[in-house]
Amino acid sequence: MPNLSVIVPAYNSGKDIEKCLKSIRSSTYKDYELVIVDCNSQDETRLIANRYADKLIELRGKPKSIRARGSGVEASSGNIIINVDSDI
2 close to 55: Cβ distance less than 8 angstroms: no
The Cα-based distances of 63 to 21, 77, 86 in angstroms read 20, 23, 14
Average the pLDDT over 65-83 and give the result.
94
pLDDT tens track for 17-64: 999 999 999 999 999 999 999 999 999 999 999 999 999 999 887 778
The alpha carbon of residue 83 and the mean position of all alpha carbons in its chain are separated, in whole angstroms, by 8
40-51 pLDDT tens trace: 999 999 999 999
Report the alpha-carbon distance of residue 35 to residue 9 in Å, rounded.
8
- What pLDDT, on a 0 to 100 scale, did the predictor assign at position 73? 96
47 φ, ψ to 5°? Answer: -65, -45
Cα 33 to Cα 27, 55, 82, 84: the distances in Å are 12, 8, 11, 13
